[in-house]
Amino acid sequence: MKKVIMGNHALSYGAMLGRTQVIAAYPITPQTQVVELLSEMCADKTLDAKFIKVESEHSAMAACLGASLAGARTFTATSSQGLALMHELLHWASGGRMPVVMGNINRAMAPGWNIWADQNDSLSQRDTGWMQFYCSNNQEVLDTVIQAFKISEKLLIPSMVILDAFSLSHTYEIVDIPEQEKVDEYLPPFNPQLKITPDEPHAFGGLTGPEHYFELRYKLQKEMEKAPALIEETGKEYEKMFGRYLGLVDEYRCDDADIILITSGTVGSTARVAVEELRQEGIRVGNLRIKVFRPFPFEIVRNIVKGAEKIAVVDRNISYGHHGIFYEEVKSALYGHNNSVPIFGFIAGLGGRDITPSTFKEITNLALKKKRPEEEIIWIGVKR
């Protein structure tokens, strides 16, 4: 069934089709419609789930963890300040191997209060052991939620499905809503390997000394390393059933590109408009959208940029005192594999400042002009 829905509702539909059993969430702009629709779905029984109306995001995640450990499929959604408030429990989720799936709407961190797109909220959670999927359209949001349950439950690692504030969360697009039976076929019920029950009493997450902690974390990383292949495999399976492939990255005209613009999130589509226009001017440019940020898809990124003469990474985020975060990551992926290609790091669009096709043209031209980057960070659009 095709429906015109907003990005936030794509998250809700994903959670519904995934037959989420326990939801705990707290409202924050621009996420509110996610939980509003889910509340309705629970109320009218389109979704047979318990919705715990908690008093904070911290409690939202805590409730999800408890429910997940009890063996239920759990979902929550948040944004920005809410995600930051959850931080402690994000570690708990991965360390406890609780496969919660969460939608996060990328919104800037205060102060000043800013509800617009910016990736610093989710990227600040980089090292919490969650998988992170940055989506670029509403269809992808819905599909990825369903896929995320499958991957998370297989690896026992939680997933964050991420979309930009407003340009996705509140933008209406035509979305194909798959049939429940087909989704059920793709995504079997959660069959937990770890489960809290009086029938088999174990203590979970107690005191753990240096003699064991290390191995537990080693095992988490080893499972995380299996994710790229699993994402591709489940993505192909999804394609077979629903006609849409869900991969690690999404490339556009990179094959013969001299310069590749690397982006994430919705700005990918903006970049592609620029790619078309620049190509008409005879500039061979392509766009690589990195969808999966954790685990970082090293292999595929290396392969795609192999032939490029230059790379420009565009970040709507910053690690203060360092670089744009995708820029750091791309450089670290290429180090020792492709040391000669110049990589330019651009920061644009913080706090929802517009990123337009001409932004990408400016970026491309700047990168073409210079042999190598002369600055650690090239700021785009700062009034100075």
Partner 1 sequence: MRKKKRAQKIVFKSEKDVPLMAMSTGTMLHNKTGAWRNIKPVIDLDNCIQCGICWKFCPDVCIFVEDELPVIDYDYCKGCGICAEECPTKCIAMVEEEK
Partner 2 sequence: MKKEKKMAFSLPEEELMNSGHLACQGCGAALAMRYVLKALGQKVVLCIPACCWSIIDGQFPYSSLDVPIFHCAFETAAVSASGVKAGLEMVGDTETTVVAWAGDGGTFDIGLQALSAVAERNDNILYVCYDNEAYMNTGIQRSSATPYGAWTTTTPVKHFKERPKKDIDAIMAAHRIPYIATASIGYPEDLFRKAKKAKEIEGTRFLHIYAPCPTGWKSRPEDTIKLARMVVQNATFPIYEIEWGEKYTLNIKLKEKKSISDYLKIQGRFRHLTKKEIASMQEEVDRKWERLLSLVNSSREKDQIPS
Q: Which residues bind partner 2 (CB under 8 A)?
A: 21-22, 24, 49-50, 52-56, 58-59, 62-72, 74, 88-89, 92, 196-198, 200-209, 212
Q: Which of partner 1, partner 2, none interacts with 176 (beta carbon under 5 to 8 A by kind)?
A: none
Give 188 or 205: the residue with its C-beta nearer to partner 1.
Answer: 205
Contact 273, 249 (CB under 8 A): no
Written as six digits, the tokens of 118 are: 């910016």
Written as six digits, the tokens of 319 are: 């690690």
Query: At 148, which amino acid appears?
Result: A
Q: Which of partner 2, partner 1, none interacts with 156 (beta carbon under 5 to 8 A by kind)?
A: partner 1
Residues 96-115 that bind partner 1 (CB under 8 A): 96-97
* φ and ψ at residue 165, rounded to 5 degrees: -60, 135
Give 62 or 313: the residue with its C-beta nearer to partner 2.
Answer: 62
Axis crossing angle, helix 210-242 with helix 138-155, rounded to the nearest 10: 140
Q: Which of partner 1, partner 2, none interacts with 67 (beta carbon under 5 to 8 A by kind)?
A: partner 2
Give 216 or 241: the residue with its C-beta nearer to partner 2.
Answer: 216
Does residue number 204 form part of the binding site for partner 1 (CB under 8 A)? Answer: yes
Size of the site for partner 1 (CB under 8 A): 18
Does residue number 202 form part of the binding site for partner 1 (CB under 8 A)? Answer: yes
Run of H or E including 103: strand 101-106
Give 190 or 344: the residue with its C-beta nearer to partner 2.
Answer: 190
Residues 151-170 that bind partner 1 (CB under 8 A): 156
Q: Which of partner 2, partner 1, none interacts with 49 (beta carbon under 5 to 8 A by kind)?
A: partner 2
Written as six digits, the tokens of 178 are: 């798959």
Q: Which of partner 1, partner 2, none interacts with 95 (beta carbon under 5 to 8 A by kind)?
A: partner 1
Written as six digits, the tokens of 177 are: 């809503």
Contact 90, 128 (CB under 8 A): yes
- What does the radius of gyration of the chain's CA atoms come to, in whole angstroms? 21
Query: At 259, which amino acid appears?
Result: I
Report the 3 state secondary structure along 334-349. Answer: HCCCCCCCCEEEEECC
Distance CA 128, CA 110 (A): 21
Answer for which of 42, 54, 194, 366 binds partner 1 (CB under 8 A) is: 194
Q: Which of partner 1, partner 2, none interacts with 219 (beta carbon under 5 to 8 A by kind)?
A: partner 1
Distance CA 167, CA 163 (A): 9
Spell out, one character per residue from 335 to 364, where the chain touches partner 1: x when CB under 8 A holds, - when not.
Answer: ------------------------------
CB atoms within 10 A of CB 359: 21
Query: At 173, which amino acid appears?
Result: E
Q: Which of partner 2, partner 1, none interacts with 53 (beta carbon under 5 to 8 A by kind)?
A: partner 2
Answer for which of 127, 179, 215, 225 binds partner 1 (CB under 8 A) is: 215
Does residue number 212 form part of the binding site for partner 1 (CB under 8 A)? Answer: yes
First to last CA, the chain: 50
Cα dihedral across residues 147, 148, 150, 154: positive or negative: positive
* Residue indicated by tokens 């889910």: 38
- Stretch of 71-79, 93-101, 175-183, 254-262 lying at the interface with partner 1 (CB under 8 A): 93-101
* Residue indicated by tokens 């795609």: 304
- Stretch of 46-54, 207-215, 280-288, 299-307 lying at the interface with partner 1 (CB under 8 A): 207-215
* φ and ψ at residue 80, rounded to 5 degrees: 45, -110
- Stretch of 44-52, 57-65, 206-214, 374-382 lying at the interface with partner 1 (CB under 8 A): 206-214
Could you tell me the smallest distance in angstroms from the CB atom of residue 141 to partner 2? Answer: 25
Alpha helices in 44-106 (DSSP H): 57-69, 80-95
Distance CA 268, CA 263 (A): 6
Answer for which of 45, 191, 193, 371 binds partner 1 (CB under 8 A) is: 193
- Stretch of 20-28, 163-171, 201-209, 285-293 lying at the interface with partner 1 (CB under 8 A): 201-209
Chain residues binding partner 1 by CB under 8 A are: 95-97, 156, 193-194, 202-206, 208, 212-213, 215-216, 218-219
